[in-house]
Amino acid sequence: MKKVIFPFFLLLILAAACGGSDENATSESEAPESMVADTPTNDGKGVGEYKEVALNDPLVASLVSRGQSIVDLKCAACHKTTDQRVVGPGFKGITERRKPEWIMNMITNVDVMLEADPTAQALLKECLVRMPNQNLTPDDARAVLEFMFSNDGKPVGQ
């Protein structure tokens, strides 16, 4: 009888040690708070290095001209300067619909924007074609931004 009781007693102790409930323990489905990623807020500025963009008032004419050249070379196959949609949306009114930071982040960081920004993801669903990375430098992107503002009627300086 002792041979039967001892293994049973040992099994009972192991079960109690392993199966106990701790009020402070988290369930398997809940991650500890320190491991849960913060949900980024959608501030309309997009995802990328541009958090603040100071606008020129009036716009710089040389930047506007350079931006137009870049748009003609790299963007015109998919975007028109009107509100007409081709492959991507038309540029007319873009500066009224999007913040300058969002535009700069989309121009320079398109892959990350399409992965993480809800507005860019919605545009991708609407257009069905990923915008290619045009590898614009920050200076080129700024020139394109100046052109977009001039296209929307913002005054250009001398």
Question: Which amino acid is it at 113?
Answer: M
Nearest to 53 by CA among 154, 140, 145, 133: 145
pLDDT of residue 81: 97
Query: Would you call 22 helix, strand, or coil by DSSP?
Result: coil
pLDDT of residue 76: 97
DSSP code, position 81: S
64, 68, 118, 134, 144 from 122: Cα distances, Å: 29, 26, 6, 20, 22
| Spatial separation of the C-alpha atoms in residues 14 and 17, rounded to whole Å | 5
Complete DSSP assignment for 95-116: HHHS-HHHHHHHHH-HHHHHHH
For residue 34, which phi and psi values (nearest 5 degrees)?
Answer: -70, -15
Q: What are the mean pLDDT values of the chain's consecutive 10-residue runs (158 residues total)?
A: 59 57 53 55 91 96 98 97 95 97 97 96 94 96 98 95
The domain segmentation of the chain, as residue ranges, is 61-151
CA dihedral (105, 107, 110, 114) in degrees, to 10, reads 70
* pTM exceeding the 0.85 threshold for the entire prediction: no
pLDDT of residue 158: 80
State whether CATH 3.90.230.10 applies to domain 61-151: no
